[in-house]
Amino acid sequence: MIVLGLSSGTSTDGIDVAAARLTLAEDLVRLAPLGHFTVPYSDELKGRIHTALPPARTTLEAICRIDTGIGQEFAEAARIGIAELTDGHTDLIASHGQTLFHWVEGTNVRGTLQLGQPAWIAEATGLPVVSDLRVADVAAGGQGAPLAALMDVLLLGDLKTPAAALNLGGIANVTVVHGNAPPEAFDTGPANTLLDTATRMVTEGRRDFDVDGVLARSGRPDPALLEHLLTEPYYRLPPPRTTGPELFGPEYLDRALQHVGRPSNEDLLATLTELTAVTVADALRPHSPTRVLASGGGVHNPALMERLTNHLAPAPLHTSADLGMDPDAKEAYLFALIGFLSRYGLAGSLPACTGARRAPVAGRLTPGTEPLRPITPATTRPRRLIIEPPNP
């Protein structure tokens, strides 16, 4: 089955599109990447999303416009992906949409909201769409995250020594595989979300992120601000735990700066870079991983990667490219994998990592213009994932 995965993370940079040829043989999944690209959101839609994010007040009219706008822009991205990545031969689309709110109370997730109406995608492409990929896990008592643990465990499960997969999106999340012991996965805290907020602050909105970590590398962490930020209770919650911009949003940074005082622009970014590195390393230290494989937009920030390398030592820091998975496209390929498994009646999350009572099939299915093709449900849960070159 050829599946197109669509996603947009908490940084709201744009729409990641990835195509994969997936095959299932008993407990083995083979994934052949067919290519990927990113389509930026239109300025108008990006502005609407940012205006509606918590703790901002919004209206049902605004939510309807955002849901429609995301659906339409995802639909256009899917149409381009089908033409450019699969030469028109796609069987299924898996759309994560855009998270607008993740309802967390303490260590409990009460609900989650991803917008991007899938009917627009189905109408534009004629293909069935699997969407709402998190809410089934939440309904089963889970965190609805990190869903990346599904792919991480399948990729790392054969390793004999503890290893960790680290995703550096808006929020940082880790999956730790211990060989024969149950895996663990959780959000460690902010990765890029506070850094991006600070960059917009110090550049007066001219930049959405610190290109190549230049500003952060020219500053030094401010001890008082870093100490204050590290008192955040979230870092001491036991896993499984999940968070998002509902906690680590612009208001969070504003409050911290009002309490401690604002350092120089460069020192502010250096402090937030150090915060991410310290909290990731502290979260992984009890697991003693022998290697850490990073993915997500944060891998392109040299300042962040340098500080992570320093704090994670002696465990070496590499990227998911070592396993054949492009760090920029991992999440889009993840959602393609989850959509593929859903069509075979297989679970899209791991209860050991999300805290769910059981492993539910993920998502809801929106038909395309043709009747759905019957698929015989699979009876064996996948245990391994191999990334292989695309067929000629």
CB atoms within 10 A of CB 265: 18
Q: What is the spatial distance between Cα 247 and Cα 97, in angstroms, rounded to a whole number? A: 20
Q: What is the spatial distance between Cα 347 and Cα 205, in angstroms, rounded to a whole number? A: 41
Task: Go through the chain and tell me how many residues it has.
Answer: 392
Please list the residues that pair with 108 across neighbouring strands. 105
Q: What is the spatial distance between Cα 361 and Cα 365, in angstroms, rounded to a whole number? A: 11
pLDDT at 224: 97
CB half-sphere exposure, 134, CA atoms < 13 A? 25
Give mean pLDDT in consecutive 10-residue pieces for the chain, a chain of 392 residues. 94 91 96 97 94 90 98 98 97 97 90 97 98 98 94 89 94 90 93 94 86 93 98 94 90 96 96 98 95 95 97 96 92 98 97 95 96 91 91 55
- Fill in the DSSP letter of residue 11: T
pLDDT at 296: 93
1 near 92, Cβ under 8 Å? yes
